[in-house]
Structure 1
Amino acid sequence: MLQIIKRKELLSIITFCTIFINVFAQKTIQNNSSREKLSLNGEWNYIIDPYQMGYLDYRLEPFDMSKTGKGGFYENITNPGKSEKVEYDFDSAPTLTVPGDWNSQKEKLEFYEGTLWYKRDFVINPEKDKRYFIHFGAVNYESNIYLNGKKIGSHKGGFTPFQFEVTNKLNTGDNFIVLMVDNTRKVDEIPTINTDWWNYGGITRDVSILETPQNFISDYKVQLAKDENKIIEGYIQVDNSKNKETVSLEIPELKIKKEYKVDENGFVKFSIPTKKISYWSPENPKLYEVSISSDQEKITDKIGFRTIKTVGKDIFLNGNSIFLKGISLHDENPLIKGRLRSEADMRMLLTWAKELGCNYVRLAHYTHDEKMLRLADEMGLMVWAEVPVYWTISWTNAETYKNAANQLEVGIERDKNRASVIIWSIGNETPVTEPRNVFMGNLVDKVRSIDNTRLVAAALEVEREGYTVVVDDPLGDKIDLASFNEYGGWYWGKPEELDKYEFHIKFDKPVVISEFGAGALAGYHGDKDTMWSEEHQEAIYINQIKMLEKIDGFRGMTPWILVDFRSPRRQNPVYQDFWNRKGLISNNGVKKKAFYVLKAYYESKK
Structure 2
Amino acid sequence: MFSKNIFFLLSFLLTFSFGKAQAQSRTKVNFGADWEFKREETPAQDWEKVTIPHTARLEKLVVIKQFQGTSWYQKKFKTAISKDQKAFIYFEGVMQEADVWINDKKVTNHKGGYLPFTVDVTPYLNANNENTIKVKVNNEDNPDFLPGKPIKDLDFNYYGGIYRNVYFITTSKLHITDAVNANKVASGGLYVNFRNINKTEASGTVQVHLQNDFDAEQKASLKFILTDNKGKKTEIKSDNFSVKPNTDFVLTQNISVANPKLWSIHNPNLYKLEVQIISNNKVVDSYSEKIGIRKSEIKADGYYLNDEKIYITGTNEHQEYPYLGYAISDEAQYRDAVKIKNAGFDFVRMSHYPHAEAFLNACDELGILVMNSLTGWQFFGGEQFQKSAYQDIRDMARRDRNHPSIVFWEASLNETNMSPEFMKEATKTLKEELPFDHNYSASWIDNDNYDIFIPARQHAKAPDYWTKYNKGNRKIFIAEYGDWEYYAQNAGFNQTEFANLKEEERTSRQLRSAGEKRLLQQAYNFQEASNSNRKGASTIGEANWVMFDYNRGYSPDLESSGISDIFRIPKFAYYFYQSQRDAKVVLDKKLFSGPMVNIANFWTPESPLNVTVYSNCDEVALYVNDILISKQKPTVNNNSDKLEHAPFIFKVTAFQAGTLRAEGFIKGKKVASNTVKTPEKASKIELSYDLSSVKINLEFPDMVFVYAKITDANGTVIPTATNEVTFALSEGNSEIIGQNPVQAEAGIATIILKTKDLKKKIVLKATSNNLQENTITITK
Q: Is this contact kept in 1: 2:467–2:537, CA < 8 A?
A: no
> What's the offset of the Cα at 1:427?
2.6
Q: Bigger shift: 256-265 or 207-216? A: 256-265
Equivalent residue number for residue 31 of structure 2: 40
User: How far apart, in 2, do the equivalents of 1:209 and 1:357 lie?
Assistant: 38
> What's the offset of the Cα at 1:584?
0.6
Q: Is this contact kept in 2: 1:249–1:290, CA < 8 A?
A: yes
Q: Bigger shift: 587-596 or 35-44? A: 35-44
User: How far apart, in 2, do the equivalents of 1:110 and 1:371 lie?
Assistant: 29
Equivalent residue number for residue 250 of structure 1: 225
Structure 2 residue identity aligned to 1:481:
I
Matches within 5 A, 1:263-274: 264=243, 265-274=248-257
Matches within 5 A, 1:433-444: 436-444=419-427
Equivalent residue number for residue 449 of structure 1: 432
C-alpha change, 1:116 and 1:355, in structure 2 (3 Å) is same
Matches within 5 A, 1:378-527: 378-394=365-381, 397-432=382-417, 436-451=419-434, 452-461=436-445, 473=446, 475=447, 477-487=448-458, 498=463, 503-506=468-471, 508-518=473-483, 519-525=509-515, 527=517
> What's the offset of the Cα at 1:189?
1.9
Matched, 1:375 2:362: yes
Q: Is this contact kept in 2: 1:424–1:454, CA < 8 A?
A: no
C-alpha change, 1:364 and 1:263, in structure 2 (3 Å) is farther
Q: Is this contact kept in 2: 1:119–1:177, CA < 8 A?
A: yes
The DSSP-based 3-state class of the residue aligned with 2:372 is strand
Equivalent residue number for residue 16 of structure 1: none
Equivalent residue number for residue 301 of structure 1: 289
Matched, 1:128 2:101: no
Q: Is this contact kept in 1: 2:457–2:465, CA < 8 A?
A: no
> What's the offset of the Cα at 1:478?
2.1
User: How far apart, in 2, do the equivalents of 1:512 and 1:263 lie?
Assistant: 48
Q: Is this contact kept in 1: 2:470–2:538, CA < 8 A?
A: no
Match of 1:183 among 118, 122, 139: 139
Alpha-carbon deviations, 1:375-403, whole Å to 9, x = none?
11111111111111332211xx3322221
Equivalent residue number for residue 565 of structure 2: 586
The DSSP-based 3-state class of the residue aligned with 1:153 is strand
> What's the offset of the Cα at 1:289?
2.5
Match of 2:170 among 204, 211, 222: 211
Q: Is this contact kept in 1: 2:144–2:388, CA < 8 A?
A: no
Q: Is this contact kept in 1: 2:313–2:541, CA < 8 A?
A: yes
Q: Is this contact kept in 2: 1:138–1:204, CA < 8 A?
A: yes
- Gap regions ≥5 residues in structure 1: 1-32, 52-87, 462-472, 528-532, 572-576
Equivalent residue number for residue 699 of structure 2: none
Equivalent residue number for residue 638 of structure 2: none
> What's the offset of the Cα at 1:350?
1.0
Equivalent residue number for residue 193 of structure 2: 223
Equivalent residue number for residue 546 of structure 1: 531
> What's the offset of the Cα at 1:89?
7.6
Structure 2 residue identity aligned to 1:521:
L
> What's the offset of the Cα at 1:499?
6.9
The DSSP-based 3-state class of the residue aligned with 1:595 is helix
User: How far apart, in 2, do the equivalents of 1:330 and 1:261 lie?
Assistant: 47
Q: Bigger shift: 410-419 or 149-158? A: 410-419
C-alpha change, 1:154 and 1:44, in structure 2 (3 Å) is same
User: How far apart, in 2, do the equivalents of 1:205 and 1:34 lie?
Assistant: 25
> What's the offset of the Cα at 1:95?
4.0
C-alpha change, 1:553 and 1:595, in structure 2 (3 Å) is same
> What's the offset of the Cα at 1:300?
3.0
C-alpha change, 1:89 and 1:148, in structure 2 (3 Å) is farther
Alpha-carbon deviations, 1:218-267, whole Å to 9, x = none?
21122302778631213111111734521122325474524144564421
Alpha-carbon deviations, 1:349-391, whole Å to 9, x = none?
1111111111111122111111111111111111111111332
Structure 1 residue identity aligned to 2:328:
R
User: How far apart, in 2, do the equivalents of 1:374 and 1:41 lie?
Assistant: 20
Structure 1 residue identity aligned to 2:141:
R
Equivalent residue number for residue 656 of structure 2: none
Match of 2:155 among 165, 181, 196: 196
Equivalent residue number for residue 288 of structure 1: 271
User: Which protein has the larger Cα radius of gyration, Structure 1 or Structure 2?
Assistant: 2
Identity of aligned residues (%): 23
> What's the offset of the Cα at 1:191?
0.6
Q: Is this contact kept in 1: 2:156–2:551, CA < 8 A?
A: yes
> What's the offset of the Cα at 1:505?
4.3
> What's the offset of the Cα at 1:158?
0.3
CA RMSD of aligned residues (A): 2.8
C-alpha change, 1:324 and 1:254, in structure 2 (3 Å) is farther
User: How far apart, in 2, do the equivalents of 1:177 and 1:500 lie?
Assistant: 54
Higher percent of residues as helix: 1
User: How far apart, in 1, do the equivalents of 2:85 and 2:64 lie?
Assistant: 40
C-alpha change, 1:588 and 1:38, in structure 2 (3 Å) is closer
Matched, 1:238 2:210: yes
The DSSP-based 3-state class of the residue aligned with 1:143 is strand
The DSSP-based 3-state class of the residue aligned with 2:73 is strand
User: How far apart, in 2, do the equivalents of 1:227 and 1:34 lie?
Assistant: 34
User: How far apart, in 2, do the equivalents of 1:599 and 1:272 lie?
Assistant: 39
User: How far apart, in 2, do the equivalents of 1:183 and 1:540 lie?
Assistant: 37
The DSSP-based 3-state class of the residue aligned with 2:527 is helix
Q: Is this contact kept in 2: 1:308–1:453, CA < 8 A?
A: no
Structure 2 residue identity aligned to 1:327:
T
User: How far apart, in 2, do the equivalents of 1:340 and 1:283 lie?
Assistant: 30
Q: Is this contact kept in 2: 1:99–1:206, CA < 8 A?
A: yes
The DSSP-based 3-state class of the residue aligned with 1:580 is coil
Alpha-carbon deviations, 1:120-147, whole Å to 9, x = none?
2222233332110111111011111111
User: How far apart, in 2, do the equivalents of 1:109 and 1:46 lie?
Assistant: 23
TM-score with structure 1 setting the length: 0.77
Q: Is this contact kept in 2: 1:459–1:514, CA < 8 A?
A: no
The DSSP-based 3-state class of the residue aligned with 2:122 is coil
Match of 2:520 among 506, 528, 535: 535
Q: Is this contact kept in 2: 1:285–1:377, CA < 8 A?
A: yes
- Gap regions ≥5 residues in structure 2: 1-23, 178-188, 279-283, 484-508, 583-642, 646-780
User: How far apart, in 2, do the equivalents of 1:89 and 1:520 lie?
Assistant: 43
User: How far apart, in 2, do the equivalents of 1:478 and 1:34 lie?
Assistant: 45
Equivalent residue number for residue 167 of structure 1: 122
TM-score with structure 2 setting the length: 0.60
User: How far apart, in 2, do the equivalents of 1:556 and 1:300 lie?
Assistant: 33
Q: Is this contact kept in 2: 1:499–1:543, CA < 8 A?
A: no
Higher percent of residues as strand: 2
> What's the offset of the Cα at 1:160?
0.6
The DSSP-based 3-state class of the residue aligned with 1:565 is coil
> What's the offset of the Cα at 1:340?
4.9
Equivalent residue number for residue 80 of structure 1: none
Equivalent residue number for residue 330 of structure 1: 318
Structure 1 residue identity aligned to 2:454:
S
How many residues get paired? 502
The DSSP-based 3-state class of the residue aligned with 2:404 is coil
C-alpha change, 1:208 and 1:526, in structure 2 (3 Å) is closer
Alpha-carbon deviations, 1:501-530, whole Å to 9, x = none?
854344532321111133111121264xxx
Q: Bigger shift: 171-180 or 256-265? A: 256-265
Matched, 1:93 2:38: no
Alpha-carbon deviations, 1:58-87, whole Å to 9, x = none?
xxxxxxxxxxxxxxxxxxxxxxxxxxxxxx
User: How far apart, in 1, do the equivalents of 2:30 and 2:576 lie?
Assistant: 44
Matched, 1:103 2:37: no
